[in-house]
A = this chain, B = another copy of it.
Amino acid sequence: MAIKIFVTGGTFDKEYDEIKGQLYFKQTHLPEILKLGRCTVETDIQTLVMIDSLQMTDADRRKIVISCTECIEQKIIITHGTDTMVETATRIAEARIEKTIVLTGAMIPYKFGSSDGLFNMGCAVGYVQTLPFGVYITMNGKYFLWCKVRKNRVTGYFEELR
């Protein structure tokens, strides 16, 4: 059974605009990432939005929830900016969808050569195929239930809430 991958932007997919000297979004690197990982799991990638997660609106989150609900797959990975990843996970959890949904992201853009994105995507591919129905976040090798995690904005790491 295929894994659905919803792309929403985030640091994962940021690129460097050499004319303006700024970071921006062009298109997702997910196909390239999965190819680099020589991933043979069947996946279907769909870009929902392409934004910094601080810009994510209620309408964007509704779109994500509806997409998770309506897609045929039961295993879903969502790439997402880390700043509001927990908020989006919460919104999805409230919809009580009977699927395994794993949100992940990166602290360093994939295009910058030394990104944590390839590792996090590996973890997500592992977790989404083994965890029971529910909404999870995986970052830095760990996985967290949506209601048991927060991002530590000082260190940049996700921590378990007790």
* Chain A contact residues, CB within 8 Å of chain B: 11, 16, 18-19, 21, 23, 33-34, 36-41, 52, 107-109, 111-116, 118-127, 129-131, 138-143, 153-157
Contacts and interface: CB of A to CB of B under 8 A. Distances in A.
A81 to B, nearest CB: 9
Contacts of A120: 37, 122
B38 A107 contact: yes
Contacts of A36: 114-116, 119
12 contacts: A21-B23, A37-B120, A38-B116, A40-B142, A113-B113, A118-B122, A119-B119, A122-B122, A122-B124, A122-B126, A123-B126, A130-B130
A103 to B, nearest CB: 14
A119 B124 CA distance: 10
Contacts of A21: 11, 23, 52
B125 A38 contact: no
Nearest to A39: B141
Of listed A111, A141, A155, residue having the most chain B CB within 10 A: A141
A88 to B, nearest CB: 17
Nearest to A128: B126
A5 to B, nearest CB: 12
Contacts of A111: 112-114
Contacts of A34: 141
